[in-house]
Amino acid sequence: MKRAIISDIHGNLEALQAVLEDIDRQRVDAIACLGDVVGYGPNPCECVKLVRDRCTLVLLGNHDQGALFDPDGFNSGAERAIRWTRMQLELHDRLPRNARAMLTDFLGELPRTHTEGDLMFVHGSARRPLDEYVFPEDIYDPLKMSHIFELVGRYCFQGHTHIPGVFTTGPEFLSPTVSKGDAEAVIDMPTHKAMVNVGSVGQPRDGDNRACYAILEDDRRVRFRRVEYPFTITARKIHDIADLDNFLGDRLEKGR
Ligand code: ZN
């Protein structure tokens, strides 16, 4: 069994298309999306449609929720982006020809967690699926890590921080650095428990500007793949939209 797991697309259509093309070449059995399909990026509607069409499992992220309900706990730039995103979704849904493809209905019905045997899928963490961050430096907070690990059957797949890697119960953080000429880094899964952050498709923040996603193979190893995409096109679109801070476009080149 081979499953691709994507997360944090954030309305970046160029990155999503490049990742889906890469996934097609990997011949996976299923695609799961861990949320934040929208927010920050210039193509929320197109990304929701693609994810809806291509993924067998889609979870709700905090930005998706913010775009549907009242944005809460976001900084002012993110909140402005979320309000703009909501307007795009509502404009789409208001057009009569789109009545059968209501994007807000689709997002509004997404679950926050999904469990399959001893595998768990969330946006944030097993403890607070929608909005808890588990950062690499949290390995120095063993209490936090052990509390969250108590809720994990075997493996928990998550996103939200935009930083890919594997957390062991050690606790340790295994970072999948992919050098420039390579397309992937492979990490063998610990036999006990692990949390796997699959990284971000549309706004990587680990210093590598390539889109990131993960493939879980036979529940034994994870391949973290990096995919180049034309980020200058996405950045230009962001710069052209007044409600999206220029910074949101500039950071795509840096992968920060
Ligand atoms: Zn996100």
Task: Name the residue with higher pLDDT: 157 or 71.
Answer: 157
pLDDT of residue 98: 84
Cα of 162 to ligand 1 centre, how many Å? 6
Q: How far apart are CA 149 and CA 152, in angstroms?
A: 5
> pLDDT tens-digit profile of 2-40?
999 999 999 999 999 999 999 999 999 999 999 999 999
> pLDDT tens-digit profile of 107-124?
999 999 999 999 999 999
Cα of 236 to ligand 1 centre, how many Å? 20
pLDDT of residue 27: 95
Cα of 160 to ligand 1 centre, how many Å? 5
Residue 194 has pLDDT above 90, yes or no: yes
Reference 16, options 142, 195, 203; nearest CA is 203
Mean pLDDT of the chain: 96
Cα of 97 to ligand 1 centre, how many Å? 30
Q: How far apart are CA 82 and CA 73, in angstroms?
A: 12
Contact (CB, 8 A) for 176 and 204: no
> pLDDT tens-digit profile of 196-243?
999 999 999 999 999 999 999 999 999 999 999 999 999 999 999 999
Reference 52, options 70, 40, 64, 67; nearest CA is 64
Question: Which pLDDT band, with edges at 50, 70 and 90, does 255 fall under?
Answer: very high
> pLDDT tens-digit profile of 35-70?
999 999 999 999 999 999 999 999 999 999 999 997
Q: How far apart are CA 225 and CA 207, in angstroms?
A: 15
pTM: 0.97
Cα of 62 to ligand 1 centre, how many Å? 7
> pLDDT tens-digit profile of 60-111?
999 999 999 978 788 988 999 999 999 999 999 999 888 888 999 999 999 9
Domains, the chain: 2-254 (3.60.21.10)
Cα–Cα distances in Å, from 110 out to 64, 94, 137, 202, 220? 9, 21, 30, 20, 28
Cα of 92 to ligand 1 centre, how many Å? 22
pLDDT of residue 120: 98
Cα of 183 to ligand 1 centre, how many Å? 22
